[in-house]
Amino acid sequence: MTASPKRYAYEVAVREQALLGEGPTWDPAGERLIWVDILGSRVHTYAPGDGRRTVMATEQHVGAAKPRAGGGLVVNLRDGIGLYGPGGASFTWLVRDPVPGRRGNDAAVSPDGALWAGTMRYDEAPGGGGLTRVAADGTVTGQSGPLGDVAVSNGTGWSPDGRRMYYADSPTRRVDVLDFDGRHARNRRPFAVIEVGAGDPDGLAVDADGCVWIALWNGGAVRRYTPDGRLDRVIALPVPRPTACAFGGPGLRDLYITTARAGQERPHPLAGSVLVVPDAGQGLPGTPFAG
């Protein structure tokens, strides 16, 4: 296994003590980064242009927050999928499906504007989580075949041409790839296997070259894998628990990385902050949720 010797310099974008920072997403309409503190029940935004920040409390643990096409946010909460209006002024449930001991986790918006929402049990029991497709009108399509029986549903992303879908069920220590037809994901197979001791795959981002960037929980690094599954870059970080990454900023050139401090007796001073690696690569424009 080899990786590029190029050294990456990180900066602190947002100094914060988030328990479980997650889900960075670039919002081009607001020229801002959206991210969540799952266990803190907070949705954060950060505008790198002027440094402006906002924090919005949610009534439940929030696994992900993504921009909506008409403004506002779609959120993956403990009991289902909710919709906030612009500025967080209103809230409605799009899908309410509470299951004792389960919560929403990472989520992603596919090229057609649907939300792919992951779930997990608080105890991370195998088979306790899953991944569902939520359409703009709230229609839920379960992925009972390849993606309906998981433990910790995490990173999800699509290749530049939209024909491949990447997915991480963290305890498997794999990022898998599936064939994608615009609505369904099929033919799940391993894309990259993380060796023992290097951490577990968490959130991911796909760049304009079709490479997959993966945050390694308990691995203190973000890795980039080429479309054929070859490791070619490693970003070493000072914090042991990076959780996810996303490209943002001018030209989508900067890689933002969320981190966590939960479960650590003596967390690093930057644990829970958002880090950024300037000019790390070339990101892909995101798609807002159509609902």
Active site amino acids: 202
Say which residues have a Cβ less than 8 Å from residue 95's Cβ, sequence separation at least 6: 80, 81, 134, 138, 140
Q: How far is CA 18 from the centre of its chain?
A: 15
> Given the structure tokens 């049990």, which residue do they identify?
121
DSSP string of 147-179, one letter each residue = SSSBSBEEEEEE-TTS-EEEEEEGGGTEEEEEE
Mapping DSSP onto H, E and C, the string for 193-246 reads: ECCCCCCEEEEEEEECCCCEEEEEECCCEEEEECCCCCEEEEEECCCCCEEEEE
Q: How far apart are the C-alpha atoms of 191 and 166, rounded to whole Å? A: 8
CA 142 – CA 116 distance, rounded (Å): 10
What span, in angstroms and rounded, lies between the C-alpha atoms of 24 and 278?
15
- Tell me which amino acid residue 196 is: V
CA 86 from centroid of its chain's CA atoms = 22
Give the rounded distance of the alpha carbon of 200 from its chain centre.
14
